[in-house]
Structure 1
């Protein structure tokens, strides 16, 4: 949940309330803003990718929703409200990016703390249906998808309505929450076999599917936007960033996102 500061303005004895989206508080923010995340991001890299960029996204979101019905909503609620609105694409972009960037940073921790966590047995049992038999297979699968992705975007481990796990690639501000905004395809370059298969799936997709069939619940997010790594790793440092990132995941956080009775 994003914290919001309430400003009260008195104009001609009329009291109006304006809600401002402010930076959510991460568990280790005070330390990381001064020291960075050792082994992953410097203090400058952390403040660029989290403090500065997140504040930028939330400021834009505040300006776009001021005086609208979305003004009192969280970024998550706003992205759902605007996903199908063709005239609200700018608002959707800032809502989606701010929500998913927060989601991503919530699962980060120090190298030492990461070593004390691991994927739950329940999560690994579900991944067996995707031919993922151990943590190394999971790592190779996700990092391979991210390293071989052109442009910018996200790799998600998601849960569908049947509680099955799937891997999902979303370009730019793509989100797992709505089919029409997943942005799974990048048609700026040549079409490979995987892209061709996905295009066929889209063509055959039954338009009568319910909205529940279109939604995925993200469990794990890998952010490969260049704002995450360019400060510390340079233009060509994506691969090294991803390898270091994997060693800083907090599996206790990720495990709790998975539905379990």
Structure 2
């Protein structure tokens, strides 16, 4: 399939700017959430002076604009609407997602805030030029090899995890409390707007589905206290000194350092569902003679291409924060 010549439109029919022009919207709220900068991917100037971003070999101008400008604008616009007139009005998405994760009544705020943060995190980890994992900083390379055996094993784990996810979400490389130790890094997946941060892992329930005792009875409160105590001790923490409001029961201390976005808006425009007629970058898996050709899905081709455009210096700065400061942090 030939790659079409694309122009970045002046305005999309399905995007509302999250920039100061939002003040002209009929809804009466101020726009505290604005599009964060992406200094790692410089803008280019196209025909008629249009500004756009792209990553040659990975995301075309229209694919990049769809996954970043249009989608991030949509998410922030809705987050502004939900936070207007509340205590979250002037807070960043990261703060909002942690403060709303355990409150079912704030589920919409959490979803938009977490999605805005995750999408930003993904784009901050990209390089505008092709990179080589083997040439990543030595400290990071040695730590990842201790955790996964080889860089190739890490690549296959992240790609296969993304490909096997039956639904949109994110695949994360996270460091544990001891990044220099064997097993100091792990790969985990979150679905939809799920968050990798321990503080957002637990959602409060109004009802115990097993006993039906509820939270407003003494029996229910006692059961909840016992559950929290058992969970904190099970996580290796002393229940007496455990800060329950900052850490999920049973959670493990993790910090994300790299993110792969598996939502369709990130890969479908560029790579299609798969097959010779829909995938822009065709990649075939050899098959036995006489059998139909087994093609990679568009999502797998996208995930494998992503590995070649990871900014490993940014990953190292997040993995070892005492060594250097990251270029930017997701809001």
Q: Give the alignment's TM-score, normalised by structure 2.
A: 0.62
The structure with the largest helix share of the pair is 1
1:78-109 deviations in Å (ceiling 9; x for gaps): 00111111100110000001011001101112
**Given the alignment, which residue of 169, 173, 187 partners 1:167?**
187
* Corresponding position of 1:251: 312
Q: 1:207 aligns with which of 231, 234, 245?
A: 231
Q: Paired residue for 2:258?
A: 220
For 1:200, the equivalent position in structure 2 comes to none
State the SS of the aligned residue for 2:257. strand
Name structure 2 gaps, 5 residues minimum: 1-17, 24-28, 46-50, 204-226, 236-241, 275-297, 323-331
1:130 paired residue number: 147
Alpha-carbon RMSD across the aligned residues, in angstroms, is 3.1
Distance of 2:158 and 2:83 partners within structure 1? 35
User: Which one has a larger percent strand, Structure 1 or Structure 2?
Assistant: 1
Deviations 1:197-245 (A, max 9, x none): xxxxxx9x94235427444210111111111011111123111111111
Q: For residues 249 and 55 of structure 1, what CA distance do their matches in structure 2 show?
A: 24
Q: Which residue of 1 aligns with 2:198?
A: 178
Q: Distance in 1 between matches of 2:168 and 2:162?
A: 9
Residues 116 and 83 of structure 1, relative CA distance in 2, 3 Å threshold = closer
Q: Does the 8 Å contact 2:53/2:65 carry over to 1?
A: no
Q: Of residues 53, 69, 89 in structure 2, which corresponds to 1:51?
A: 69
Deviation at 1:144, TM superposition (A): 1.5
Task: Label 1:20 to 1:35 Cα distance change in 2 as closer, same or farther (>3 A).
Answer: closer
Instruction: Give the Cα separation in 2 of the matches to 1:254 and 1:60.
Output: 30
Q: Which of the pair has more CA radius of gyration?
A: 2
Residue 98 of structure 2 contacts residue 199 of structure 2 at CA under 8 Å; is this kept in 1? no
What CA distance in whole angstroms lies between the structure 2 residues aligned with 1:45 and 1:123? 30
> Pick from 244, 259, 270: which aligns with 1:232?
270
Change (3 A) 1:118 1:71: farther
TM-score, length basis structure 1: 0.78
